[in-house]
Amino acid sequence: MDAYIQGIIILTGINLLAVLGLSVLTGFTGLFSFGHAGFMAIGAYVGAIFSSKLGLPFAAAIVAAAAGAGAVSVLIGRLTLKLKGDYFCIATLGFGEAIRLILNNWKWAGGARGWDNLPASVTIWNVLIVDAIAVVLVWNLLNSRHGRNMVAVREEELAAQMAGVNVFRYKMIALFVSAALAGMAGAFMGHYMTYITPKLFNMVKSTDLTIIVIFGGLGSVSGSILGTLLLTALPEIFRAFSQWRLVFYGLAVIVIMVGRPQGLIGGMELTPAGIRKIAAERRAKSALAAAAKAAEQGGEE
């Protein structure tokens, strides 16, 4: 396969890992993070320590990256998950930037210059296999009792609490899952580019991930997958317009929020059952409209 095409597939696969995690957090639990690039950074650096300094195999580096980012997320979650709305957003923003600045000053890991000569362990196959595992795990989590509890927290926190859902615990689970996946994505990124710098994991990266989740549609795993495919691959294809790419990107976000807040396929899933459900709702809607029309005409006569 063409090396360029392979590169796009690998990048899309890496982004997908991080987006899947964020989909659990933002799409299903309703927490909005501006700092997930921070978790990617932790994963990337932990992974680099395991493979480059300790000389352990890539698989161990990936597991350690997920565990490292997950462990930090538990600490951060303890501190910030009690906060609501804007306060949580600003706290995550602060966390992400703080991680980046700490790495900037960490001479042992290269500081602001970055860390190079990481082993190039990422292949199209290990990315796709890990993606597949992640999709299955996330899908099963969201379709379990736990997933339904997360949606309850998103929809109405107080009511969920009253109904006996441990709101804090489910927010924590969502944050942990999203951080671990982001950490894994960070380690994959490092071992694909063989080079990491703190700058890679700035706020723009965090926002990018969130926008993909929103573009695909909140509360939809297939939407997040579709969003990742479109928003990672399309810019590569339209490279010639790279200057205007982000202009349209920003505009698209506004237009989606104002005109189509459910994103591409928010709240729906592109599975046989999901499609049948959508089709049934459409039919019911048109039948209802037809009945209303008939009643109206009947009234006129």
Partner 1 sequence: MVQFLQQLVNGLSIGSVYALMAVGYSLVYSIMNFSNFAHGAVIMLGAYFGFYSLTLLRLPFGVSFVLAAVGTGLVAVLLERLAYKPLRERRAPFLYFIITAMGASIFIENLVVATIGPTYKTYPAVFGQGPIQLGALSIGRIDLTMFVVSAISLTALMIFIDRTKMGKAIQASAYNMKASALMGINTDRVIIIVFALGGALAGVAGVLFGMKYLVYPQIGNITNKSFIAAVFGGLGSLPGALIGSVLLALIETFVSGYLSSQYRDLIGFVILIAMLVVRPTGIMGKSAEDKA
| Sites of contact with partner 1 (CB under 8 A) | 30, 32, 79-80, 82-87, 89-91, 93-95, 97-98, 101-102, 104-105, 203, 207, 210-211, 214, 243-247, 249-254, 257-258, 261
Nearer to partner 1, 35 or 190 (CB): 35
Tokens read off for 237: 């294809």
> b/e for 282-301, b at 16 or more Cβ within 10 A?
eeeeeeeeeeeeeeeeeeee
Q: How many CB atoms lie within 10 A of CB 159?
A: 11
User: Could you tell me the smallest distance in angstroms from the CB atom of residue 162 to partner 1?
Assistant: 17
The C-alpha atoms of residue 214 and residue 265 are separated, in whole angstroms, by: 10
- Determine the 3-state secondary structure of 19 from DSSP: helix
Nearer to partner 1, 136 or 247 (CB): 247
Nearer to partner 1, 9 or 172 (CB): 172
Q: Could you tell me how far CA 275 lies from the centroid of its own chain?
A: 23
User: Could you tell me the smallest distance in angstroms from the CB atom of residue 164 to partner 1?
Assistant: 22
Nearer to partner 1, 13 or 30 (CB): 30
User: Could you tell me the smallest distance in angstroms from the CB atom of residue 260 to partner 1?
Assistant: 11
Q: Is there a contact between 45 and 109 (Cβ–Cβ < 8 Å)? A: yes
The C-alpha atoms of residue 18 and residue 40 are separated, in whole angstroms, by: 8
User: Could you tell me the smallest distance in angstroms from the CB atom of residue 267 to partner 1?
Assistant: 14
Q: How far apart are the first and last CA of the chain?
A: 68
User: Could you tell me the smallest distance in angstroms from the CB atom of residue 31 to partner 1?
Assistant: 9
Nearer to partner 1, 32 or 168 (CB): 32
